[in-house]
Amino acid sequence: MQKVTWMIVVLLLANCSGLQDNVRTPLIGFGDLEAEYHFETPATSWDTFRLPDDEAFFSVTHGALTGAVLGDRGYIWSLNQPVYNDISIKATLQQTRGIEGNGFGVMCRADENGNGYYFVLSSAGQFAILKAVPETPDPIQIVKWQGSGAVKKGDGVNAIEAICLDDYLSFTVNGVFIAEARDSTFTSGRIGAVLGAVQETAWVRFDDILLRNVRVIGG
């Protein structure tokens, strides 16, 4: 069970770019499919829980991993059990209830306290790559919150891919490569789904999660 610890700050930085000039993009090779999750039955290796007074929960319902959290209570997360180093995470995400501006996505190299890398979208049409570290109240924006036409707003279904490879991080949304960064803080950890809400309760479906090994070609 995870308690809410961080507040969401959604910044409107529509003129910024997540593709940084000083990042060297590696040539990535994709290996075996490590696991796939379609949540066709309630049984799951992902963390499920319900906090008191229905402040937040994650459960498998209606063929998806569903998360919900009250507004302005910070991020909550559901982690899968295995530990990975270099991994590609594909998933489909859909906010089903809540106002625009909520943040949700996937985590890599995460621990049970929510530390790790976050690849998140906003239902207002934004994205960011964040890093949560111990004893820091808010996740650090490695790639700042900013707008992208690739992100479907509101209750649109977004297909994403996040890659964690050595110190390289990349983010693709609906087939559009939108962000990359370098950071060496975390080298291994668990995969997760993450969700936070502003003002009102948000509900998000996480489905069709595919995990695949990655490596640097020629590296």
Listed by start position, the domains of the chain span 28-216
**Which tokens hold the place of 166?**
């050595």
CA 124 to chain centre: 16
CA separation for the pair 131, 143 (Å, rounded): 9
CA separation for the pair 119, 155 (Å, rounded): 18
pLDDT at 163 over 70: yes
Query: For residues 163 and 151, is the Cβ–Cβ distance under 8 A?
Result: no
Q: Report if pTM > 0.85.
A: yes
Secondary structure class of 218 (helix, strand, coil): coil
pLDDT at 60 over 70: yes
CA separation for the pair 134, 6 (Å, rounded): 11
Q: How confident is the model at residue 219 (pLDDT cuts 50, 70, 90)?
A: low
pLDDT at 15 over 70: no
The CATH topology of domain 28-216 is Jelly Rolls (2.60.120)
pLDDT at 83 over 50: yes
Top pLDDT among 22 and 168 is at 168
